Amino acid sequence: MLKIKVFDRIEEKQMKSLRVFFNYFQQNIFFVVIFLCLIACQSGIKNRAEIEMQAVNLKLDRFDLKFYNQDPAIIPELKKEYPYLFPNQFSDDVWISRQKDSLQLMLQDAVQKSFSDISPLEDKLSHLFKHILFHFPKIKVPHVVTLTNNVDYQIKTVYSDSLLLISLDTFLGVDHPFYDGIPSYIRKELDQKFILSQVVEKFASFVITPPEDRTFLAQMIYEGKKLYLQDLLLPHESDTIKIAYTEEELEWVYDNELYIWQYFIERQLLYKTDPDLVQRLLEPAPFSKFYLELDNESPGRVGRWIGWQITRSFMDQNPEISIEELLRLPAQKLFNLSKYKPKR
């Protein structure tokens, strides 16, 4: 009996020591987590302060106002100032005719009504380029020119290293009469709230080299990197703006992420180079083409969304990686290191 009691006391002491150890461990883990959170918060505050210190004060150059409702005599002067807007193969008569064209004047009138005060857009673009300069300090702040372009929704914005063109007539609002007849999946993006994401889309295409690898995986991750730049440069925008999904469409891809991924894996799509996959699953469309009954329920470009989640997963796993390293990283290596798994 004595022996048993001795062992009981020893076991009781061990258990007490274990309880003390675990209590100490839990308390310290709590403080470590709090410490790490404080560091992250301080880092975020520091970054925000540095972003705001970037010297950017954009003023939009309203070419549209300089061109329309003006005397034709202004044309030669405008051609000198904006040679990139006046192709050499067209004579001055073409531009004079356009100045007086009734449809063009109606379009410009609609633009003036929608953008009567351009200062909010200037402020938003200035804030965007502060973020761009913070992450890409070698980038030049471009000369921003606004114009009208016959509602050419395929060229809403144009970006180069020193110039940004914005076709204001492609951002008049989803229900504008000028957009009658345009498919709804395209029309939904013809709104002012998408201007910044459109600019980032063009900027991303400028700074990210398209992959030489033509596999579906490489194309997905290329698009995913571009969408990740939306996260970085437009941190306060919703995902619906970044990828131009409705709330219902965004909910659909989250709810079906596992099934989309299974579809890609089971049909061995990742390493195929069929251009048809780009049209079916990456390009803007009313829905993605799985060739299943659920097609009409799906939004377009689900492949881009999956590429975005893979890139996000990679950055979660590798937070020390710089944005420049991320953009240069080959798709296969990024995918391997991402440890991507559908969340639902």
> Tokens at residue 293, please?
């009954």
- Is residue 251 predicted with pLDDT exceeding 60? yes
* Residue 171 tokens, joined: 């951002």
In a domain, 204, yes or no: no
* Segment 31-63, tens digit of pLDDT: 443 443 444 444 556 678 888 888 888 999 999
DSSP 8-class letter at 29: H
pLDDT digits (tens, 9 = 90+) for 133-151: 999 999 999 999 999 999 9
Residue 5: per-residue pLDDT: 40
263 and 189 co-located in one domain? no
Element (H, E) at 248: helix 247-255
Let me know if residue 1 belongs to a domain.
yes
Per the domain annotation, does 147 fall within a domain? Answer: yes
Phi and psi at 143, nearest 5°, equal: -80, 120
The reply to whether 90 and 177 lie within a common domain is: yes
Tens digits of residue pLDDT in 178-196: 999 999 999 999 999 999 9
Check pLDDT > 80 for residue 246.
Answer: yes
Cα 170 to Cα 153, 157, 226, 236: the distances in Å are 6, 9, 22, 23
Asked whether residue 208 is domain-assigned, the answer is: no
> Which H or E run contains 157?
strand 157-159
In a domain, 56, yes or no: no
Q: Is residue 209 part of a domain?
A: no
Give yes or no for residue 248 having a pLDDT over 80. yes
Q: Does 273 share its domain with 332?
A: yes
Decide if 210 is inside a domain.
Answer: no
Q: Are residues 182 and 73 in the same domain?
A: yes
Report the SS3 class of residue 208. coil
In terms of Cβ atoms closer than 10 Å to its own Cβ (0-12, 13-18, 19+), residue 19 is: exposed
pLDDT for 119 equals 96
Supply the pLDDT for residue 1. 41
User: Are residues 99 and 183 both part of a single domain?
Assistant: yes
Cα separation, 277 vs 68, whole angstroms: 43
Q: Give the number of domains in the chain.
A: 3
Predicted model pTM: 0.85
Confidence at residue 37, expressed as pLDDT on a 0 to 100 scale = 41
Domain boundary among 147, 163, 198: 198
Q: Which tokens hold the place of 331?
A: 């798709």
Residue ranges making up the domain that contains 2: 1-49
Q: Centre a 10 Å sphere on the Cβ of residue 16 and count the other Cβ atoms it contains.
A: 10
Q: How confident is the model at residue 29 (pLDDT cuts 50, 70, 90)?
A: very low
pLDDT one-digit tens code per residue, 76-120: 999 999 999 999 999 999 999 999 999 999 999 999 999 999 999
Residue 244 lies in a domain: yes
Cα 200 to Cα 204, 255, 312, distances in angstroms: 6, 27, 17
Query: Quick one: pLDDT at residue 31?
Result: 44
